[in-house]
Amino acid sequence: MTAPNGQAWLDMYASMLRIRLFEEQVNDLYTSARMPGLAHLYIGEEAVAVGVCAALRDDDYITSTHRGHGHCLAKGASVDRMFAELLGKEAGYCKGKGGSMHIADQQKGNLGANAIVAGSVGIATGAALSAKKRGTDQVAVCFFGEGALGQGLMYECMNMASLWKLPVVYVCENNLYNEYTHYLETTAGDISQRAASFGIPTHESDGQDVRGVHAAAAEAVRRARAGEGPSFLLFRTYRQKGHHVGDIDRAYYRSKEEERKWAEERDPLKVFGEALVAEGVFDAVAFERVEEEVRTQIAEGVKFALEAPYPQPEEVAMDVYA
């Protein structure tokens, strides 16, 4: 893969902005009681999904998490069908049967968001095994949060991925909180060492810097494609909002000052946007154009989803078996 140029950076910025505005819209839909269920917002972590997915081809695989809207969008899902799924509409990616935590998009290699923490590690690793068996050079990326490090499945799969040199990239988003508990209260030792002990190369860096994320992902994907086996990428990031939209009062587990600092000083869109302007890649006009395009897309997507019909009752018993 050649190094990204100015246009590619603009595209990544637009992709991050799309996720941000999508999530703000989700928050609005949820708090105005137009969206049922749960919503786990990805705001503040956009650089990880976008930086990693920009290093992938359409036919590469990803698996995602309960906080998965960002991964799905970054891998190419369309805003309108995403919103439709979140609202439980027939036009959604899963005909309204999956909802926010289960968006899958086979056309773009998205094998599904997963509401069991670490639940998709086997699926991603198995997709990598499959790619190897079928003789393709596809790569699988497994996104998970640092909370998934508590699950034994993770280590069973990393062991096999290393033994069998599978083309899988494990992407750990350390957003500091396992739901409402700081990860240092739940996580002993050094995170990267856990993967390193299986002989898996590791990389750790700032998850708020999309270009850094992209460079690390591109190298891990290159290795995987070349048959050199799995990698483990650990990105330090921050969940700006609560565990889910209803998690408003967070003072018992983290300070307002901490939230302010990450939002004002380490926001991935702000960091990237300012850098692009400073480097002359991005001027005010380009910025406005991108924002207008994305805002229009979001507005049209929400409108589409709100107006779309619900599934017919007979749909409830369909798709249980293939």
Partner 1 sequence: MPEQAVAGRQLTMAEAVREAIAEEMRRDPTVFLMGEDVAEAGTPFKVLKGLLEEFGPERIMDTPISEPGFTGIGLGAAMTGMRPVVDIMFGDFLFLALDQIANQAAKVHYMSGGTLKAPIVIRTTLGATRRSAAQHSQSLHAIVSHIPGLKVALPSTPYDAKGLMKTAIRDDNPVVIFEDKMMYTVKGSVPDGDYTIPFGQADVKRSGDDITLVATSSMVFVALAAAEMLAKEGISAEVIDPRTTVPLDVRTLVDSAIKTGRAIVIDEGYQSYGVTAEIASVITEGAFYNLDAPVRRMGAMDVPIPFSPALEDLTVPTADRVAGLARELCRKGN
Could you list the residues that contact partner 1 (CB under 8 A)?
61, 63, 92-98, 102, 104, 106, 111-112, 114, 116, 119-131, 133-134, 140, 152-153, 156-157, 159-160, 163, 318-322
Q: How far is the CB of 221 from partner 1 (least distance, A)?
A: 17
Shortest reach from residue 153's CB to partner 1, in Å: 5
Nearer to partner 1, 160 or 294 (CB): 160
The alpha carbon of 103 is separated from its chain's Cα centroid by a whole number of angstroms, namely 12
Nearest CB to partner 1, comparing residues 201 and 311 = 311
Could you tell me the two tokens for 230? 């799995």
C-beta of 96: minimal distance to partner 1 in Å? 7
CA-nearest of 178, 206, 195 to 45 is 206
Q: Which of 232, 229, 233 is nearest to 167 (CA)?
A: 229
Structural tokens at position 208: 């708020």
CB of 177 to partner 1, least distance (A): 23
Tell me whether residue 171 or residue 210 sits nearer to partner 1 (CB atom).
Answer: 171
Nearer of residues 95 and 250 to partner 1, judged by Cβ: 95
Nearer to partner 1, 58 or 185 (CB): 58
Q: Provide the angle, in degrees to the nearest 10, between the axes of the packed helices 6-31 and 79-86.
A: 20
Please report where in the chains the tokens 């999904």 appear, as a residue. 49
Q: How far is the C-alpha of 176 from the C-alpha of 146, rounded, in Å? A: 7
Record the tokens describing residue 20, joined without a space. Answer: 């941000």
| Residue with smaller CB distance to partner 1, 78 or 130 | 130
Alpha-carbon distances, residue 267 vs 47, 161, 207 (angstroms)? 9, 34, 10
Minimum Å gap between C-beta 121 and partner 1 is 7
CB of 278 to partner 1, least distance (A): 43
Alpha helices in 246-283 (DSSP H): 256-265, 268-278
